[in-house]
């Protein structure tokens, strides 16, 4: 059955990094999942009803792109805070996750998982790396979902297998209703933490030009995505209604600044 047509209204949550860290540190609402829209995701959002459905069911939609934040402010008069998946992942490991916490990592290599465990002293890291193209094999998808559910309850599950695979997994976990914990669709964030990829200098990040640095690092893989496909976003933004969902008042303690 084809997925039902979804409205092209995109809900974005009013959380910056510190505000969402506090929420994540105190998350105890069963299962939830986080998506982090960037330019590529918004193009998918416009083009694919199935992708819109994944976003509609997400517990939190955090703006991943300072480039988009600048555009929203100038073009639409919207001030939407940025909480990038890469910054969120790094700060969760540095400021929130304790060595004894059960953490699930889906994607990345065994070497990366070991590096994370060593760097942060993690005793409860559980890792599973599905094979390339797994999302097209129902048995491989089922095995991945079963692995996550077998680790439940967990504190955080980092889904690092790229869009839309990670969002599909998160949505299926919600539908199945077994897993307990907060799942985060974080793309290449763990690559930056483990040195597989380098992030742009901070001034480029703040200027909304991190994409240009990544393009220079890997033009063969990213030129089509950024310079051809990505330009479509300027034509598609007027066709998407963006709404801002107010943050929920925090219950519990806050994360210490470090």
Q: Which distant-in-sequence residues (6+ apart) come within 8 Å of 3 by Cβ? A: 49, 50, 53
List the alpha helices (DSSP H) in the chain. Answer: 17-25, 39-47, 49-56, 66-71, 85-91, 110-120, 138-150, 165-176, 189-193, 202-206, 210-217, 219-223, 233-236
Q: Which distant-in-sequence residues (6+ apart) come within 8 Å of 11 by Cβ? A: 55, 56, 61, 243, 244, 245
* pLDDT at position 251: 60
pLDDT tens digits for range 120-129: 999 999 999 9
Tell the residue number behind the tokens 């209703």, with chain if given. Answer: 177
Mean pLDDT of 189-204: 86
Tell the residue number behind the tokens 């510190």, with chain if given. Answer: 18
pTM (global) more than 0.75: yes
pLDDT tier, 199 (very low <50, low <70, confident <90, very high otherwise):
confident
pLDDT tier, 222 (very low <50, low <70, confident <90, very high otherwise):
low
Q: Which distant-in-sequence residues (6+ apart) come within 8 Å of 113 by Cβ? A: 105, 125, 127
pLDDT tens digits for range 13-67: 999 999 999 999 999 989 999 999 999 999 999 999 999 999 999 999 999 999 9
pLDDT tens digits for range 244-253: 999 887 665 5
């Amino acid at each position: 059955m084809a997925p039902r047509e979804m409205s092209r209204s995109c809900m974005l949550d009013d959380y910056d990094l510190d505000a969402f860290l506090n929420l994540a540190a105190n998350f105890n609402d069963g299962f939830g999942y986080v998506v982090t829209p960037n330019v590529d995701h918004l193009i998918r959002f416009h083009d694919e009803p199935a992708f819109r459905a994944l976003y509609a069911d997400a517990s939190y939609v955090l703006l991943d792109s300072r480039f988009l934040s600048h555009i929203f402010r100038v073009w639409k008069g919207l001030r939407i805070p940025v909480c990038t998946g890469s910054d969120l992942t790094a700060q969760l490991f540095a400021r929130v996750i304790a060595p004894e916490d059960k953490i699930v990592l889906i994607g990345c290599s065994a070497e990366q998982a070991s590096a994370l465990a060593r760097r942060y002293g993690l005793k409860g890291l559980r890792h599973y790396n599905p094979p390339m193209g797994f999302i097209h094999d129902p048995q491989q998808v089922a095995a991945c979902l079963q692995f996550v559910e077998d680790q439940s309850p967990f504190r955080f599950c980092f889904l690092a297998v790229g869009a839309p695979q990670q969002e599909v997994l998160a949505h299926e976990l919600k539908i199945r209703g077994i897993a307990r914990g907060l799942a985060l669709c974080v793309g290449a964030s763990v690559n930056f933490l483990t040195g597989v990829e380098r992030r742009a200098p901070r001034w480029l990040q703040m200027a909304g030009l991190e994409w240009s640095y990544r393009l220079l690092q890997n033009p063969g893989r990213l030129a089509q995505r950024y310079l051809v496909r990505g330009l479509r976003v300027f034509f598609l933004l007027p066709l998407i209604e963006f709404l801002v969902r107010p943050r929920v008042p925090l219950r519990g303690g806050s994360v210490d600044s470090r």
